[in-house]
Structure 1
Amino acid sequence: MRKIETDIVVCGGGPAGINAALAAGRSGARTLLIERYGFLGGMSTAALVYPWMTFHTMDGKQVIAGTAQEIVDRLMAEGASPGHVRDTVGFVKTITPYDPEVYKVLIIDMLREAGVKVLLHSFMDEVQTRDGLIETVRLATKSGKYEISAKQFIDATGDADLSYLSGAPCLQGRDSDNLTQPMTMKFRMRGVDLAKVKRYMIEHPDEFYKKTPFDELEELPLSGVLGYFKHWKEADLPINRDQVLFFTGPGPDEVLVNTTRVQGLDGTELEDLTEGEVQGRKQVRMVADFMARCLPGFENASISSVGAQIGIRESRRIDGCYSLQVQDVVDGRAFDDCIARSGYPIDIHDPSGKGVQAAWVQGDGAYDIPYRCLLPKRIDNLLVAGRCISTTHEALATTRLTPSCMATGQAAGTAAAIAWEQGISPGKIDIGLLQERLIHNGALLRSGQTV
């Protein structure tokens, strides 16, 4: 067995883990990022989750920045993102398109600049603990077993794998039946006539989402579409959904389709995941065929790519020191231990029905995510970032979105670095110091703070 000793280990190379590793590495701590795929990006790359939603409130005020914004800026500098653009679906104010292939390369460059060591093709399958501390994680690899020891650990796996294997208490799904939001197999189509799509929207507004900014659609670049209600209903496909959703790009004739829906399966169970992949890919062919046959603008469209894996909206999450509540989100609640903010609404894809439940943030349009949501119970040298932080099922429907995951990742990496520097547990660090460092590195933690 090969052994590696380091200061901070980040498990999971998605947006949360990337931002956590950047923050930890830039602090001077020896930082190791572990990822099971042969590339980084998590759901953003493996499952084609696109675009990123959202860095802003509904009135356009930016509330997420820091390393997340730095990544966007560097993508823009390479011509791989237009930056934050208006959401023509109308569900949020802005979305952030990006080229996932450029993103895969860019983030490796950024991590190496920060001194972070990356291990790809590494599947974490065992965790050793003693007296409430993680001592090592073990990896299964092509070259045999690896054992990694560190002082601080960050779970950015999305599924709370590290937390679960270490014995930290976890929850899953809604309280009534533990069902989670459905999985979606996302895919891209090329050969789409977007000008024709836009004309059809303007001429048939009743067939599209009511929040679509129809009055501005002539001038706005088309970034997303939700609707085709009549066409979808007439097709009567065996998919438990009530509309078509897609986003434009990265190519000029390309869209990312977010319309398949696989329900009733557990994203942490091997056989369920297997069945989800099978059902999801069958639905991709079904939806793509329907769109090419029936939707104006898609007459010459065809599938150009499909996710490497099915997209997981919800699986395990930790039962942490505080669980963010739906009312915290809707009320735009402020917390003294705020380490990130978000303006994304509650967005629950029904675990068993057709629809989506939505609720928008009141007040100044943003809510705080408290540091305690990143702290699991029972394990003292572990922090959690991204989709599996401590929330209710309903509140997870906003914290799971990529920019929020990026923000909690930066916070977790910064907190782990402070704990490592001071030789204490993350639960004992000075919150004021953590907030000061986050703000110094571009995070937006206070109402009225600007980029």
Structure 2
Amino acid sequence: MKPHRTGILIVGGGVGGVAAALAALRLGQQVILTEESPWIGGQLTSQAVPPDESIWVEEAGATASYRTFRDRVRQHYREHPGITPEAAADPFLNPGAGNVGRLCHEPQVALRVLEGLLAPYLTARQLRVWTDTEPVTVDVDADRIQAVTFQHGPSGTRHVVEAAHVLDATELGELTGLSGAESVIGAEGRDETGEPHAPERADPRDQQAITWCFAVDHQPGEDHTIPRPQSYDFWRTYQAPFWPDRQLSWVYPHPITGRPVHRNLFSDPSETAQRGDFWHYRRIVAGRHYRTEVPDVTLVNWPQNDYWLGPLVGVSEEEKARHLHAARELSLSLLYWMQTEAPRVGGKGEGYPGLRLRGDLTGTDLTHGLALRPYIREARRIRALFTVTENMIGVEARGTQQGAEVFADSVGVGQYRIDLHPGTGGRGYVDVASWPFQIPLGALLPVRLHNLIAAGKTLGVTHITNGCYRLHPAEWNTGEAAGALAAFSLERAAEPAQVRENGGLLADFQALLTRLGVPLAWPDAYRLTPSPGF
């Protein structure tokens, strides 16, 4: 089998992988980008998650390339022939008018924008993108990845790629696992990290819940009820020990206080209801933005379809497949419950049969109708040269210290609460304030393998700090820094670890990131403002 050769191989075409590719391509390098699903874009597309972003995203704390992505999403909607003049003229247009973030939009729009950003490099043959492709073996010699073997699609065709630098941007850290790189899965213990919110002892099986998202619109007077899911009887009665009611109910624990919260699907169907119901929470299409009749569409990524009955990392393929199937069944059961049994607002009957799956927006119209892939919050993480712990960024953990720890090797910034969804180890939410933080270069570098770079959720964070480094802009920034690092290392004929160790190389690399539009520090006005609650 003749191998493919490239300067930079990026395994995983999600948010971090695409950002890594764009950075390396802008710096003139040859790139192969692989992705296990049919769509590149990860959280933004195949997982169908509207961006969770910094509260200051419109003004600070995002890279120039991420801003370009956001601008192009808005431009896509402005060019829609049916959009209202008012919506088109809004400089901060929120296509879905969802209240979870400033840019709630359809996943297939994000896909088109990302493909458009990469298109010129495909034309020039500087980039090759292989979808429906997953790594199966990694050849390592002398602490270097020599080659990665991939399997493509249902045909099972295999390809071997040799590259100078290999970036792991997979959703679950599959490449890191296959490479034999020292790594961590699940929760570290407080005895190791000293983090206030870590469990007392490590638990590799304690991993954040996954969520199989789906999009729905509502057609009153019509019946779009799906077939009764096979596992419905289980899910309609299931209640976790840490949950205040059955999972299929409108009651869930507040992530910060733990107190029971009641939220209806429609607390008020009018356009004034921007708080208090699920419909407006992650709405991705707002009919009011169009001159012609366009139905609202909301994205269901709610407490009710978080799946925590078993982990995906560090288990057999059979167990992993079982949990993926169960997560899909949970989401279908939630939809069926909403269509048939959910209490309606004001006690006016049960069920909303007019809820209609919109698999046409998520690439699954002819199959199950949910997102192409589940939303993954936590991956296998490298044992890094430097690991970010809660004590470096958590407001409570920092005590009287103002602001997060400052990293001299910063390659970017992020801002979000430490937000852990219920875990497969049997605990509920962990949701605590954090300071706006930096991304240290040392967190992208494994302790041993010379040419492996973390380009997404596989970076050197803990189970706890993953809770704020996992969101869209931070994952993008991590990937962009990783792609730029690989390109810089090739251009300077230096190992990635040498860039961190050599003061001159580090200064030059950080100057390069600045030229690319990557902020390396927060201005004090932001740096000293902790993430708010909700």
Q: TM-score, normalised by structure 1?
A: 0.82
Match of 1:440 among 496, 515, 522: 515
- The one-letter code matched in structure 2 to 1:172 is I
Partner residue in 1 for 2:199: none
Listed as ranges, the matches of 1:250-261 within 5 Å are 250=285, 252=287, 253-258=296-301, 259-261=304-306
Match of 2:506 among 423, 427, 431: 431
Aligned-residue offset at 1:345: 0.6
SS of alignment partner, residue 468 of structure 2: helix
Match of 2:430 among 351, 354, 357: 357
Q: Is 1:344 matched up with 2:387?
A: no
Instruction: Give the Cα–Cα distance (whole angstroms) in 2 for the partners of residues 167 and 448 of structure 1.
Output: 39
Partner residue in 2 for 1:272: 319
The C-alpha deviation readout for 1:347-404, integer Å capped at 9, x for no partner, is 0112145742211224xxx111111000012110111011111111100111111211
Residues 382 and 419 (structure 1 numbering): CA distance in 2 closer, same or farther, change over 3 Å?
Answer: same
Partner residue in 1 for 2:207: 180
Match of 1:152 among 148, 154, 165: 165
Count of residue pairs the alignment pairs up: 408
- The one-letter code matched in structure 2 to 1:168 is A
Q: Is 1:65 matched up with 2:68?
A: no
Partner residue in 2 for 1:288: 335
Instruction: Give the Cα–Cα distance (whole angstroms) in 2 for the partners of residues 85 and 368 of structure 1.
Output: 30
Aligned-residue offset at 1:144: 2.6
Q: Is 1:415 matched up with 2:415?
A: no
Partner residue in 2 for 1:303: 357
Aligned-residue offset at 1:219: 8.9
Aligned-residue offset at 1:310: 2.4
Contact 1:125-1:140 at 8 Å conserved across structures: yes
Residues 435 and 189 (structure 1 numbering): CA distance in 2 closer, same or farther, change over 3 Å?
Answer: same
Aligned-residue offset at 1:32: 1.0
Partner residue in 2 for 1:35: 35
Q: Is 1:4 matched up with 2:4?
A: yes
Partner residue in 2 for 1:171: 184
Instruction: Give the Cα–Cα distance (whole angstroms) in 2 for the partners of residues 69 and 109 of structure 1.
Output: 15
Contact 2:104-2:284 at 8 Å conserved across structures: yes
**Structure with larger Rg:** 2
SS of alignment partner, residue 434 of structure 2: coil
Contact 2:98-2:104 at 8 Å conserved across structures: no
Instruction: Give the Cα–Cα distance (whole angstroms) in 1 for the partners of residues 276 and 18 of structure 2.
Output: 27
Instruction: Give the Cα–Cα distance (whole angstroms) in 1 for the partners of residues 393 and 41 of structure 2.
Output: 27
Instruction: Give the Cα–Cα distance (whole angstroms) in 1 for the partners of residues 307 and 280 of structure 2.
Output: 15
Gaps of 5+ in 2: 79-91, 189-201, 221-259, 288-295, 360-369, 396-403, 500-504, 526-534
RMSD of aligned residue pairs (Cα, Å): 3.1
Contact 1:222-1:248 at 8 Å conserved across structures: no
Contact 2:99-2:280 at 8 Å conserved across structures: no
Partner residue in 2 for 1:326: 390
Gaps of 5+ in 1: 194-205, 227-243
Instruction: Give the Cα–Cα distance (whole angstroms) in 1 for the partners of residues 219 and 429 of structure 2.
Output: 26
Aligned-residue offset at 1:322: 0.9
Instruction: Give the Cα–Cα distance (whole angstroms) in 2 for the partners of residues 334 and 355 of structure 1.
Output: 31
Q: Is 1:21 matched up with 2:94?
A: no
Contact 2:97-2:284 at 8 Å conserved across structures: no
Partner residue in 2 for 1:74: 72
SS of alignment partner, residue 104 of structure 2: coil
Aligned-residue offset at 1:208: 5.5
Aligned-residue offset at 1:449: 9.1
SS of alignment partner, residue 173 of structure 1: coil
Aligned-residue offset at 1:127: 0.9
Instruction: Give the Cα–Cα distance (whole angstroms) in 2 for the partners of residues 295 and 2 of structure 1.
Output: 61
SS of alignment partner, residue 392 of structure 2: helix
SS of alignment partner, residue 453 of structure 2: strand
| Comparing 26-35 and 291-300, the one that deviates more | 291-300
Q: TM-score, normalised by structure 2?
A: 0.70
Partner residue in 1 for 2:530: none
| Comparing 19-28 and 425-434, the one that deviates more | 425-434
Instruction: Give the Cα–Cα distance (whole angstroms) in 1 for the partners of residues 322 and 518 of structure 2.
Output: 40
Aligned-residue offset at 1:155: 0.7
SS of alignment partner, residue 137 of structure 2: strand
| Comparing 289-298 and 131-140, the one that deviates more | 289-298
Residues 311 and 128 (structure 1 numbering): CA distance in 2 closer, same or farther, change over 3 Å?
Answer: same
Aligned-residue offset at 1:280: 1.8
Aligned-residue offset at 1:285: 2.7
Aligned-residue offset at 1:432: 1.7
SS of alignment partner, residue 47 of structure 1: coil
Instruction: Give the Cα–Cα distance (whole angstroms) in 1 for the partners of residues 95 and 417 of structure 2.
Output: 17
Match of 2:118 among 111, 130, 136: 111
Aligned-residue offset at 1:342: 1.0
Aligned-residue offset at 1:53: 1.0
Aligned-residue offset at 1:260: 0.8
Aligned-residue offset at 1:147: 1.2
Partner residue in 2 for 1:52: 51
Aligned-residue offset at 1:143: 6.9
Match of 1:138 among 149, 155, 166: 149
